[in-house]
Amino acid sequence: MANMDAIRYYSRTGNTEKLANLLGKQLNLEAKTIDTPISEPVDRLYLGGGVYNLNVDAHLKDFARNLDPKMVKEVFLFGTSGSLFTVEKQLTKILDKKGIKVETDHLFLHA
């Protein structure tokens, strides 16, 4: 059985969407918004978002909280922000509680 990967992102201003699409091009994956649920088990989920007023958007937090650990083996975080550590800390805390492994390598760009 082939490895399955997926990209999901939340973007208010379009910056994270651009980054998700660039990542998707490199990985030969279609980047989809968090409105598209994870419907098949994935080995790697590339999950991205931005920081707004020093917080990860509530929509992205809710998506992370609702991930099924049986459907996602590992998450790679990416995003755009002025405070890159905020995305990592806030989402890692949520995913750790779910028992979903978060890769230590992340990609964050200052927008």
| Domain map (residue ranges) of the chain | 13-39+50-103
Contact 11, 50 (CB under 8 A): yes
pLDDT (average), residues 38-57: 85
CA distances from 17 to 2, 39, 78, 102 (A): 27, 21, 11, 21
Per-residue model confidence (pLDDT) at position 101: 87
| 55 vs 2: which has the higher pLDDT | 55
Which residues, 6 or more positions from 97, have their beta carbon under 8 angstroms from its beta carbon? none
Q: What is the mean pLDDT of the chain?
A: 86
pTM of the model: 0.78
